Chain A
């Protein structure tokens, strides 16, 4: 009997999280498109983008102990890479293969910086969405982790990075559209962006990417790397005396988190139709953190569900209480961190752990 119970528990440990992912997949891919209006589905798509970034934050912060306060930067790298391509697509659709984006004509001298050129290619853009943040995160992470900058120092540096990044974007009007950001896209890899059928398709791509990211972290969490990452979070110096360089372990988690944020950003561009500095600055980065904190930073599904909840709450509260909704956001941080430091997801699992003995009696 005991054996059976143990088997059951092990079964649950292996399959339980996967079952959770399947439920999320069905909810996002089958239920949501069936019950939501196209507008609300598009809203959900935006939250899904934040959730993808949130999954990466869960890895870096929840499991790796790195409070990444500047994920907006990587969200922005992906978002701007995609937006540059969409902008060029829109330009080429009306102005031929050599057309340049409208804002360069309006605000600049009508010439396009050379580094925009490769983004005419959709393949290159997809490649850039994955590789650009990886390179940026590797350079930055290498500089920070190798010199053993961690804890609050790390958090503050990443936040300062987000501020610097947004400032840079605002100041480079002719290259990045400045404060206005990049917008007025017309198509997404040839598909008309304003056709409801296509919007649904783009939503589905984002949802599938979220599920894929969840599966990736699920595998990472149960791998030896996952164990080592948690070990590094809890006792970084001790890991050094296992013969590992903790910097490398953290770097991997940081880079994976950056790439996920970038993927989220890349889908954000076609779903909202705009990427601007206010989507990637320090405040936007804190929004990303809020969802992860709410859902449970070290859980598998917590960060994603938390990000979806915060996204929904943001829309709902700002529609219902347009003037007071920042109070709710402030209170959310205070209440969750003060009373549920491991997130609401953990509060729920603690409760269910207490209830479980009764269930197994049945």
Chain B
């Protein structure tokens, strides 16, 4: 095994006394599609925030011998860890091509930055190809459909050459067809990368997950293959218990699908 894995030990995030993450241990290996599930408020997004320097945390998060908790966000990105956000955030005023090109700018010299772009760099072409947006290259990113924006974000991570991709609900709001395409895309690019997906849709998780980690109340509840998780009694309890407390109308689609998982 090489060093290209993300190691998290005893990670804790404390919001003025409220422990949003409470002593989480995780090892995320290369070449696996790793899914992070759990009810709302379980701390999934906060975990990603902590690893990418958005919220202060204690404990350990290490990638290639680099202590991520003492590194600034943009340095973490430079170390090869990229992420997306729940709401797709692309630069709406720039074209698809410009969005991808801008993502590849980290290692450019100051002089290159001061010049205009000439032609299309090969890695940008490749990313366009991979995420299937070649035909829309000159369109402003703002006019893209929701799913296309998510793909564009993944494309930007590719251009960034992110070795670890932390994706926050990439298929939320996508059609079944788009989900399938996204799943295949993740499968393709995941072979030589570490990919972590936060997801609620259990169908999607079942179809593509190699490893699933269930989080609840800031702690890791269970970890294993899809089958192992589904058989786990504590996981079932958490989801069932949640069902009793919440009224049907307020329950999100994500919660419904997780509840499904509990029964299966």
Binding site for B on A (CB under 8 A): 219-220, 222-225, 227-228, 230-231, 234-235, 238, 240-245
Q: How far apart sit A166 and B10, CA to CA, in the bound complex (Å)?
A: 54
Q: Which 6 A-B pairs have the closest CB atoms?
A: A243-B77, A243-B106, A225-B113, A222-B116, A231-B91, A238-B89
Q: What band does the interface of chain B fall in when counting residues whose beta carbon is under 8 Å from A?
A: 20 to 34
Which A residues are in CB contact (< 8 Å) with B113? 223-225, 228
Which B residues are in CB contact (< 8 Å) with A227? 94, 98, 101-102, 117
CB distance from A53 to the nearest CB of B (A): 22
Which A residues are in CB contact (< 8 Å) with B106? 242-244
CB distance from B150 to the nearest CB of A (A): 14
Which B residues are in CB contact (< 8 Å) with A220? 114
Interface residues of B in 177-199 (CB under 8 A from A): none
User: A242 contacts B93, CB within 8 Å?
Assistant: no
User: A240 contacts B116, CB within 8 Å?
Assistant: no
User: A230 contacts B114, CB within 8 Å?
Assistant: no
CB distance from B164 to the nearest CB of A (A): 13
Interface residues of B in 92-127 (CB under 8 A from A): 92-94, 98, 101-103, 105-106, 108, 112-117
Question: Would you call B160 an interface residue if the criterion is a C-beta within 8 Å of the partner chain's C-beta atoms?
Answer: yes
Question: Would you call B8 an interface residue if the criterion is a C-beta within 8 Å of the partner chain's C-beta atoms?
Answer: no
CB distance from A354 to the nearest CB of B (A): 19
Chain B residue nearest to A220 in the complex (CB): B114
Chain A residue nearest to B112 in the complex (CB): A224
Most B CB contacts (10 A, CB to CB) among A222, A235, A242 go to A242
Which B residues are in CB contact (< 8 Å) with A222? 116
Q: Can you name 19 A-B residue pairings with CB atoms under 8 Å?
A: A219-B114, A220-B114, A224-B102, A224-B105, A224-B116, A225-B114, A227-B98, A227-B101, A227-B102, A228-B105, A230-B93, A230-B94, A231-B94, A231-B102, A238-B90, A240-B74, A241-B77, A242-B105, A245-B74
CB distance from B141 to the nearest CB of A (A): 10
CB distance from A259 to the nearest CB of B (A): 15
Q: How far apart sit A223 and B112, CA to CA, in the bound complex (Å)?
A: 9
Q: How far apart sit A315 and B227, CA to CA, in the bound complex (Å)?
A: 80
Most B CB contacts (10 A, CB to CB) among A219, A227, A235, A244 go to A227
User: A242 contacts B114, CB within 8 Å?
Assistant: no
User: A235 contacts B102, CB within 8 Å?
Assistant: no
Which B residues are in CB contact (< 8 Å) with A244? 74, 105-106
Interface residues of B in 58-94 (CB under 8 A from A): 72-74, 77-78, 82-83, 85, 89-94
Which A residues are in CB contact (< 8 Å) with B52? 241
